[in-house]
Every structure is written in C-alpha cells, then in structure tokens.
Amino acid sequence: MAEKKSQEYEINSFGDLIKALFKYDNWYLGGFVILLILFVIFDIIAFTPHH
C-alpha cells in the first residue's frame, strides 16, 4: 500500500519532495531531513578551515 501511495505523485524538484514528505503524514521524516541538511551545512561552515 505504501508503494502504491508513493507513485501517485511526481517529484519535480527538491521543494516538491519536502512538500510530499509533509503531505503524506511523514512530517517527522520531513523534519528529520531538514534538520539533517541544516546540520550538514553547519558542519561544513563550522569545521572547514578558512585560509
């Protein structure tokens, strides 16, 4: 059933992916993805040596 549900919409952009995550009752997954991305960006900024 979950596989059929994922085929009912197309993902055309990253924004659509985030909307789809929230739309299909996966708000916790969407939030986790966003937090993970923010953490990675912060990690790169904070720990990359700036010469």
Angle CA(33)–CA(3)–CA(14) in degrees, nearest 5?
Answer: 35
Three-class SS state of 31: helix
pLDDT value at residue 25:
66
- pLDDT tops 70 at residue 24: no
| Stated pTM of the model | 0.42
pLDDT value at residue 28:
73
- pLDDT tops 60 at residue 16: yes
pLDDT value at residue 1:
43
Long-range contacts of 38-46 (CB under 8 A, 24+ apart): none
Report, as an integer, the average pLDDT of 17-22: 68
Cβ-based neighbours of 18, under 8 Å, separated by 6 or more:
30, 33, 34
